[in-house]
Each structure stands twice: as structure tokens, then as C-alpha cells.
């Protein structure tokens, strides 16, 4: 069954609800979620649009399922495994299975599409031993927010 949702501009789409990123928590800041596609026609994939406000960040987490990300607006940085990458519009970023990752916006909103499997494991946050390992790299120590 086909469906056409019109762009409303300003990174909103007709009939797509603007949702909380996750249930309330202190491990993220200034981030919204819109589910653009949810397994359409049995495709098995979800496409979400996340937007992080200036100075905000996503949860530092890892999980078995991968992410495929395309930046649509703004500037920011991401921890992806053991690297910190700069992000700009239309950049593509893959997060592999079990890689630690976190997104941060700079001084403008960072908006990106994120493709995931509909059936996926739950994210895990770092414990003290994980944080100690991550913080051995001073660039990662300075970057992460928990």
C-alpha cells in the first residue's frame, strides 16, 4: 500500500509525530525523534529522523544492531567506535555492531536520518569498567557525556 507524506518544511513531515528521543533520563539532552518509516510493506527497517539541539547529545551506548546515518542539517561530532568524527550535511556514518557511539551537536541543531532493523536489541550504557577503558583515550574522555 503506497503512502505519501508531504514535507512540511523545517524537518517535519505530515502525520509524523514529534516524539521524545527516549523515556526521561539524564544521559541525553535536547533531542527529538520522528519515525519516518516503520517497516513499510514488510521491509523490516525503520528510518528515524533525530534532531539534537545546540549543545545537546544522544546517549552514549552500544548494541548488536548497526546504524546507518545520514546527516541532513547542522554540524556536530560523533563517537563511533574508537574514533571521533566531524559531521556535516550529507555525511554518511556507519556504526557497527557493539561499537560505542554518541552524537553531539555543535552550535546549531544537528539533524540526521538513522536506519535500523525493526527487530533489534536494546542499547546498553557503559558501566564503570567500560568508562575507564573509553577514557584511556584523552580525546574520547573529553568528548563523552554520561
Catalytic residues: 114
Determine what percent of the chain falls in helix, strand and coil, rounding each to the nearest 5: 10, 45, 45
Those residues with Cβ within 8 angstroms of residue 117's Cβ, 6 or more apart along the chain or in another chain: 44, 45, 46, 65
Q: How many residues does the chain have?
A: 146
Helices marked H in 1-146: 128-134, 138-143
Residue 119 C-alpha cell reads as: 527487530
In angstroms, the CA 62 to CA 59 distance is 9
Rg (CA), the chain: 15
Amino acid at each position: 500500500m503506497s503512502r505519501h507524506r508531504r514535507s512540511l518544511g523545517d524537518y517535519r513531515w505530515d502525520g509524523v509525530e514529534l516524539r521524545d528521543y527516549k523515556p526521561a533520563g539524564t544521559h541525553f539532552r535536547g533531542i527529538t525523534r520522528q519515525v519516518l518509516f516503520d517497516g513499510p510493506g514488510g521491509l523490516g527497517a525503520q528510518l528515524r529522523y533525530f534532531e539534537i539541539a545546540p549543545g545537546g547529545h544522544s546517549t552514549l551506548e552500544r548494541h548488536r544492531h548497526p546504524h546507518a546515518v545520514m546527516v541532513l542539517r547542522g554540524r556536530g561530532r560523533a563517537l563511533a567506535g574508537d574514533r571521533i568524527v566531524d559531521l556535516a550535511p550529507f555525511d554518511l556514518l556507519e556504526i557497527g555492531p557493539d561499537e560505542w557511539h554518541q552524537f553531539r551537536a555543535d552550535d546549531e541543531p544537528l539533524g540526521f536520518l538513522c536506519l535500523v532493523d525493526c527487530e533489534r536489541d536494546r542499547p546498553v550504557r557503559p558501566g564503570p569498567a567500560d568508562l575507564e577503558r573509553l577514557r584511556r583515550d584523552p580525546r574520547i574522555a573529553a568528548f563523552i557525556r554520561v
